[in-house]
């Protein structure tokens, strides 16, 4: 049985249906990241887990116990808020210890726990300060200390890094990850930043418009997206989405893509059976920029490389990589090449496509076209186990 079950949870504010039946289950020690564009309902879901918003329909189970109607303070959950929400009139020590004080923990024990949390977060020297005297990063640490000190069953983070500047954000991200590894706690973390989601999560739940789009490990969500939205949302630069026609050439199934220099045909190797039913119809192909490279840096060991000559439209060096833009299927396509490649716009060069990483989507429903439909629903297996508990 899973540690945290979110079972068919709905949220309605009057007429508006904010969450439309969310099913998520995670194990103890998991780091679940809820990610999606603003307004997708991820923060609402988090508030419902915390008990700050009522659940309109469905069930919430923590460690086997139904917590739907439990008061927030009884759920054994701690939360780090986006605005930190430090109590302005209390010192840092007072802020961290407030939850323990409310739970009537004796003073000596409280002081010990505060000290321990402060050491863990390296804020011992700030304990007597007021929140107003702290920098953004320090406030963030205090907010985390306030959650840590109670040693709850579950931690909730509501976009905790969004108020920090870019550099500090990356540092704190690493620290949160280290903290999770060291303490082995279970965390539910909300963000709209897909890089944060990828780096921190053990499980990612991609949400849109109150619906769960995909639940899975970061790698699964990245390599094996459920639909066009997930494919486009995760990854930066985002996945190339190319319109192509599926055709049969003798025995081989290929995708024919228009390009100014003449059509490119790429062999279909992944989800072959499913894509075969799309013969002589248009699909949308997805290929990550790192799956389109120069022939020299192509991964011939794990991938299946297919080469084509295309014209370079634009070159974007980032230092570590060289992004080369070309035209395919009427769109700009990003390819990641080695930084040394000397290319200039207008020049023709060889592009290596790793067709083993190519995925197909239904242009109408935007759903993924794949062979194993059961595995496709990353959530299907989860839903099943949930059903037993309901």
Partner 1 sequence: MSAGSIVARRNTLARALLYAVLAVFAILYLMPLYVMLVTSFKPLEEIHQGNMLALPEEWTFAPWREAWGSACIGLECSGVHGYFFNSIRIVVPAVLISGLLGAFNGYVLTKWRFRGHKVVFGLILFSCFIPFQIVLLPMARVLGILHIANSTTGLVLVHIVYGIGFTTLFFRNFYESFPDELVRAAKLDGAGFFTIFFRILLPASIPIIVVTIIWQFTNVWNDFLFGVSFTSGDSAPITVALNNLVNSSTGVKAYNVNMAAAMVAAVPTLIVYILAGKYFLRGLMSGSVKG
Residue 63 or 389 with smaller CB distance to partner 1: 63
Closest to 360 in 3D by CA, of 252, 251, 239: 239
By the rule CB under 8 A, 81 interacts with partner 1: yes
Residue 83 or 309 with smaller CB distance to partner 1: 83
Residue 89 or 332 with smaller CB distance to partner 1: 89
Residue 27 CB, nearest approach to partner 1 (Å): 23
Kindly determine how many residues on this chain lie close enough to bind partner 1 according to the rule CB under 8 A.
Answer: 30
Residue 51 or 210 with smaller CB distance to partner 1: 51
Q: For residue 389, what is the enclosing H or E element?
A: helix 380-389
Evaluate whether 6 touches 49 at the Cβ level (below 8 Å).
Answer: yes
By the rule CB under 8 A, 374 interacts with partner 1: no
Residue 77 or 324 with smaller CB distance to partner 1: 77
Rounded Cα distance, 180 and 186, in Å? 8
Evaluate whether 51 touches 72 at the Cβ level (below 8 Å).
Answer: yes
Figure out which of the listed residues 14, 88, 340, 346 binds partner 1, where binding follows CB under 8 A. 88
Residue 130 or 256 with smaller CB distance to partner 1: 130
Residue 178 CB, nearest approach to partner 1 (Å): 24
By the rule CB under 8 A, 187 interacts with partner 1: no
Q: By rule CB under 8 A, what string of x and - marks binding of each residue 108-147 to partner 1?
A: ----------------------xxxxx-x--x------x-
Residue 96 or 121 with smaller CB distance to partner 1: 96
Residue 326 CB, nearest approach to partner 1 (Å): 43
Q: Which of residues 34-73 bind partner 1 (CB under 8 A)?
A: 50-52, 72-73
Share of the chain residues as helix, strand and coil, in percent rounded to the nearest 5: 30, 35, 35
Cα-based torsion angle of the residue sequence 200, 70, 99, 3 in order, rounded to the nearest 10 degrees: -30
Q: By rule CB under 8 A, what string of x and - marks binding of each residue 146-175 to partner 1?
A: x----------------x------------
In the structure encoding, which two tokens stand for residue 87, read together?
A: 């109590």
Residue 146 or 245 with smaller CB distance to partner 1: 146
By the rule CB under 8 A, 89 interacts with partner 1: yes
CA distances in angstroms from 220 to 170, 184, 326, 350, 377, listed in the order given: 23, 22, 27, 29, 11
Strand partners for 256: 245, 265
Evaluate whether 377 touches 212 at the Cβ level (below 8 Å).
Answer: no
In the structure encoding, which two tokens stand for residue 24, read together?
A: 């998520």
Q: Could you tell me which residues come within 8 angstroms of residue 117 by beta carbon, excluding any fewer than 6 positions away? A: 96, 145, 148, 149
- State the DSSP string of 239-250: PEEEEEEEEEET
By the rule CB under 8 A, 106 interacts with partner 1: no
Residue 101 CB, nearest approach to partner 1 (Å): 8
Residues that bind partner 1 (CB under 8 A): 50-52, 72-73, 77-79, 81-89, 98-99, 102-103, 130-134, 136, 139, 146, 163
């Amino acid at each position: 049985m899973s540690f945290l079950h979110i079972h068919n949870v709905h949220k309605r504010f009057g007429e508006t249906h904010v969450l439309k039946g969310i099913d998520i289950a995670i194990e103890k020690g998991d780091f679940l990241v809820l990610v999606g564009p603003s307004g997708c309902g991820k923060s609402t879901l988090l508030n419902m887990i915390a008990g700050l918003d009522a659940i309109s329909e469905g069930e919430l189970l923590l460690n086997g116990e139904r917590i739907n109607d439990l008061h927030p303070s009884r759920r054994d959950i701690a939360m780090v808020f986006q605005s930190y929400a430090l109590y302005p009139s209390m010192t840092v020590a007072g802020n961290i210890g407030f939850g323990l004080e409310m739970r009537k923990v004796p003073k000596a024990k409280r002081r010990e726990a505060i000290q321990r949390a402060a050491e863990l977060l390296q804020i011992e020297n700030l304990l007597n300060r007021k929140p107003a005297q702290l920098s953004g990063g320090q406030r963030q640490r205090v907010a985390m200390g306030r959650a840590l000190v109670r040693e709850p069953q579950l931690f909730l983070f509501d976009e905790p890094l969004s108020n920090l500047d870019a550099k500090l954000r990356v540092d704190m991200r690493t620290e949160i990850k280290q903290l999770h590894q060291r303490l082995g706690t279970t965390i539910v973390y909300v963000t709209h930043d897909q890089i944060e989601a990828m780096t921190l999560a053990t499980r990612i739940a991609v949400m849109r418009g109150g619906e769960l789009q995909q639940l899975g490990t970061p790698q699964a969500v990245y390599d094996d997206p459920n639909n066009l939205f997930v494919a486009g949302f995760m990854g930066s630069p985002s996945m190339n989405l190319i319109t192509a026609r599926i055709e049969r050439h003798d025995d081989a199934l290929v995708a024919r893509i228009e390009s100014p220099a003449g059509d490119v045909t790429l062999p279909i190797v992944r989800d072959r059976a499913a894509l075969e039913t799309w013969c002589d119809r248009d699909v949308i192909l997805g290929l990550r920029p790192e799956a389109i490279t120069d022939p020299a840096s192509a991964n011939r060991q794990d991938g299946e490389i297919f080469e084509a000559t295309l014209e370079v439209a634009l070159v974007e060096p980032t230092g570590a990589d060289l992004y080369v833009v070309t035209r395919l299927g009427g769109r700009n396509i990003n390819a990641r090449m080695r930084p040394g490649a000397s290319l200039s716009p207008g020049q023709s060069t060889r592009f290596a496509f790793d067709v083993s990483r190519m995925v197909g989507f239904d242009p109408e429903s935007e759903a993924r076209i794949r062979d194993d439909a059961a595995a496709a629903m990353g959530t299907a297996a989860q839903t099943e186990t949930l059903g037993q508990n309901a």
